[in-house]
Amino acid sequence: MISTEIIILCTAAFAAGFIDAIVGGGGLVQTPATLITLPQYPVATLLGTTKIPSFMGTSIASYQYARKVVLQWKLLGLMCIIALIAAITGSYAVTMVSNSFMKPVIFCVLIIVAVYTYSKKNFGTAVNKSTHPKRELLYGMLFALAIGFYDGFIGPGAGSFLVLFFIGALGFDFLNASAHAKFVNLATNIGSIIYFGGSGHILFHYAIPMAAFNFTGSLIGARLAIVRGNAFIRIFFLLVIACTIIRFGYDIFFKHT
């Protein structure tokens, strides 16, 4: 008999895969659902468990994008290696210290991102590359270090921050930014899985069925994003950012009152 826990977690995993494939931010759904549904387990174990479905969903989304979008493999290769190592470090850190102090900072940054993206109507609607290739690599490596640690340490919103980086710093449009972000996100998931798996922080009896549903959601989401293009992805990006702001705002102002 299928338990209520599995039904809730698999539903959340499907939604997370769908959201992640389009613009990132699936952790906004999957991580809280896991923490609420399985409160008897340590937070590090639950975070480790969510990395398996995230990896599966991101894998199929990456494959779908790679078939349709021209990718900058040199930039991606360097960013992925750095992000993977940084994610291992971040995953270790989350088992040692609380990540709650980062939430007010992220909350403020997200509000700025939402206002800027909404007010600048042409943001991410076309490729506008003006950064020198060497500087592009430098920016990419530095951001990969930061986002890798962040994804291993706290997680939700990492995919959206990646999309924002590729658009704002490197001049990509939403479709190309989403495609490149998937591969870096894949590397951060691998880094976290290496640490959490090696330290026994993954509940495979939950992670495996969740992975199947996340995979399916990502498959549908990636295909929809490719077909609908930049305008659709921009709207979805704003929705996910708004929901992420609400999530962090609740954690900061109401959770401990």
Residue 9: the pLDDT is: 95
Residue 23: the pLDDT is: 80
Residue 50: the pLDDT is: 93
Structure tokens at 146: 């930061």
Residue 33: the pLDDT is: 86
Residue 42: the pLDDT is: 86
Alpha-carbon gap, residue 83 to 144, rounded angstroms? 5
pLDDT, block means (10 residues), the chain with 257 residues: 89 92 82 86 89 94 92 95 96 78 70 72 60 88 95 81 89 91 95 93 95 96 89 83 80 70
Alpha helix stretches (DSSP H) within the chain:
4-23, 27-37, 43-68, 73-94, 103-119, 133-153, 158-168, 174-198, 204-228, 230-253
Residue 39: the pLDDT is: 86
DSSP 126: S
pTM of the model: 0.82
Q: Which long-range CB contacts under 8 A does 36-42 form with residues at least 24 apart?
A: 37/5, 37/8, 37/9, 38/5, 38/9, 38/203, 38/206, 41/203, 42/201
**C-beta separation of 144 from 158 below 8 A:** no
Residue 75: the pLDDT is: 95
Q: What is the dihedral of CA 145, 148, 151, 156, to 10 degrees?
A: 70
Q: Count how many Cα atoms sit within 13 Å of the Cα of residue 90 in the half-sphere of its side chain.
A: 29
Residue 205: the pLDDT is: 94
**C-beta separation of 134 from 141 below 8 A:** no
Structure tokens at 5: 């826990």
Residue 128: the pLDDT is: 67
Alpha-carbon gap, residue 231 to 254, rounded angstroms? 34
Q: Where are the domains of the chain?
A: 4-253
pLDDT digits (tens, 9 = 90+) for 88-132: 999 998 888 766 666 676 678 778 767 766 776 665 555 666 678
